[in-house]
Structures are given as structure tokens and as C-alpha cells.
Amino acid sequence: MSNPSRAPASKATFEALYKSVYSDLLRFAQRRAHPDRAEDVVADTFLVAWRRLDDLPKHHEDARAWLFGIARNALLNEHRGAERRQALGVRLKEIPAELPADGDADLVARRIDLARAWSRLPEAHQEVLSLHVFEELRAPQAAAVLGISPVAFRLRLSRARRALRRHWDASPQSSGLPVDVSERIAKP
């Protein structure tokens, strides 16, 4: 049943936003929440957005970032009080233990090393890198997700990138052992 207190235009706006951002928002959640929780996080986020439709930014990229920010706050708020986290860790996919018969052993080894380097990063570094690399947000939108200024975001991104490269360069060339990055999953 439709909600009679919402103007049809508002409902249409929300439905268009839902359809255009749903996939990106689910990916955002999959990277940060337990896989079993990702769809719930998306549903919760859109419900909050529906209730706060008056706050919806006009431009699509800003609206997309606004939704990411709502999802991030929902995930952070799952840990209350002293346990409340300040940043969300971002998980990478697991690299298969077996090297494909026709695979590039050197490339696989470098990816394993990179995953290990990622797992050594603080969650705050993972978060800014992910907003730039995976969510592909520009600095103003990424900063809005984190509630900081664009200048501060650029500074954090630069530090995080340097830290990742430092860990990557410091890691020994992998012999192809599987890497378990699942421990970096954000606790639901």
C-alpha cells in the first residue's frame, strides 16, 4: 500500500534513487559487513533514506554518497558505547590456494602480498582507500561519507596509500600460499 502522505513525485524520486544506487550500496555493504548482513544493511539504509527524503541531496553523486554515509553510520552504531568503532574495516576477496594451470604465478604472488599488506592497515586507512578505489568517490563525496572536509580526506588518502605501499614493499614475495583476509570482515 502506498503512503498517502508522500507526494507522488517524492515517491518517484526515491524509487529512481533506489534502482540506480541499489547495486552500489549492496557492494558497499558486502565489503564492510558480514555477507549474511549486507542485504539487511541496504534495506535499513534505504528505509532511513525514505524517512529522511527531505534531506536528499540534489545531485546524484552527492545522493549516492549520502546513502553510503547512512549505511556506514548504521554499521558503526551496531557497536555501541565503548565498543563503538570509529572506522569500518574493508574486506578483500580471498585468493584461491591453487594456482590456475595457466595462471601467472608472479601476478598471483603479488596479489597475495597486496592482500596481506591490506590486512595490516588500520581500519581507518582501509576505509579511505576503499571509498577512493572501490566506491570510486571523488574527494568531496568521500569526505561527506566520513563527515570530514575534502582536504582532510585527501590527506588521509595520501597517508593510507603510502602505508599500503610500505607494507606491500616490505612483504616478502609470496610463494603462492593462500591468504586469509576474512578476519578483516567488519563485525556485524
30 touches another protein (CB under 8 A): yes
On whether the CB atoms of residues 137 and 145 are closer than 8 A, the answer is: yes
Q: How many residues bind another protein (CB under 8 A)?
A: 48
**Minimal CA–CA distance to 48: which of 20, 16, 72, 31?**
72
**Chosen residue from 63, 71, 75, 95 binding another protein by CB under 8 A:** 95
The DSSP secondary-structure symbol of 11 reads: H
175 touches another protein (CB under 8 A): no
120 touches another protein (CB under 8 A): no
- Least distance to another protein, CB of residue 144, Å: 21
The set of residues, in sequence order, having a beta carbon less than 8 Å from that of 45 and lying 6+ positions away, is: 25, 29, 67, 70, 71, 74
Identity (one letter) of the amino acid at 79? H
- Least distance to another protein, CB of residue 133, Å: 5
What is the number of other CB atoms lying within 10 angstroms of the CB of residue 81? 5
Positions that interact with another protein (CB under 8 A): 1-3, 5-6, 11, 14-15, 18-20, 22-23, 26-28, 30-31, 39-40, 42-44, 46-48, 50-51, 53, 91-93, 95, 110-111, 114-115, 118, 129, 132-134, 161, 164-165, 168-169, 173
